[in-house]
Amino acid sequence: MENWKTKTLIIGALLGAISGAVAAYIIIQRAEENQQTPKLSAGDGVKVGLGVLGVLRLLSDVGTQRK
Cα distance between residue 16 and residue 59, in whole Å: 13
Per-residue pLDDT tens for 40-67? 899 988 998 999 999 889 888 886 766 5
Range of the domain at 42: 3-62
Q: Is residue 22 part of a domain?
A: yes
pTM of this prediction exceeds 0.85: no
Structural domains counted in the chain: 1
Q: Is residue 57 part of a domain?
A: yes
Q: Is residue 67 part of a domain?
A: no
- Are residues 33 and 43 in contact, defined by beta-carbon separation less than 8 angstroms? no
| H or E element, residue 60 | helix 42-62
- How much of the chain, in percent, has pLDDT values that exceed 90? 57
Q: Is residue 55 part of a domain?
A: yes
Range 15-38 average pLDDT: 92
* Averaged pLDDT score across all residues of the chain: 88
